[in-house]
Amino acid sequence: MTATLTLSRRELLKGLASAAALGSTSRASSYAGGPTAAREKLSLMRYRDVKLTGGPLKAQFDRIHAAYLALDEDGLLKELRVRAGLPAPGEYPGGWYDRDGFAPGHCFGQLISALARFSEATGDEATRAKTQRLVEGFAATIGPDGYCYPSQKAATYFPAYNYDKYAVGPVGRLPFCRRLIRDPSPRPRHPGRSPLHAASGARQKP
């Protein structure tokens, strides 16, 4: 025979509050000098240390990885190359990313960052190579003074957001693929000026 315990919402909340208070008291006595277990320093868990073996999470991982691998590199770099006066093959990706979109080139750095993580997690050479090509392609478009925006709109509508993504994407991939990618990250820079001043529209770019 199975006994059933029925609690009202008020009784349940009172019980949870009492348990929380007891836990706080126990922690406080430990901090005050009571016996404590030996502590280990936290360390970064590498993506390659976690393996998905199946199920819906693995299926989602594989699907997104494949989608990122299928991204057209020329399309992602097109507006950056146009602004830099370089050959710019390929088609614009469309939507917000385009020259006249809501935020031109806004997610470029995020895509590099994601590919770097996939590279670290899988050890896949094609993913590593794609990450490398995008970083090198981006580096080739950065002006001698560090100007890195794909268009005047990108430099004036969302300068801080875009600059953050352009800088953090290539630099942020190092902790995840340092062993896979040899050269240092290209870093957008603005000698003598803050990134926001450089993007404020004081200088015109096509």
User: Does this model's pTM top 0.75?
Assistant: no
d(CA 139, CA 143): 9
Contact 124, 169 (CB under 8 A): no
Say if residues 81 and 141 touch (Cβ distance below 8 Å). yes
Beta strand extents in the chain (DSSP E only): none
Distance of alpha carbon 111 from alpha carbon 78, whole angstroms: 15
Helix axes 108-122, 55-69, angle to 10 degrees: 130
pLDDT digit string (tens) for 46-90? 888 888 999 999 999 999 999 999 999 999 999 999 989 999 999
The more confidently predicted of residues 156 and 7 is 156
Q: Which amino acid is residue 204, in one-letter code?
A: Q
State the amino acid at position 7 in one-letter form.
L
- Angle, helices 159-172 vs 125-141, to 10°: value is 130
Residue with tokens 């088609």: 91
pLDDT in tens, 15-45: 666 666 555 555 555 545 555 567 888 887 7
Token pair 């902790």 is found at: 175
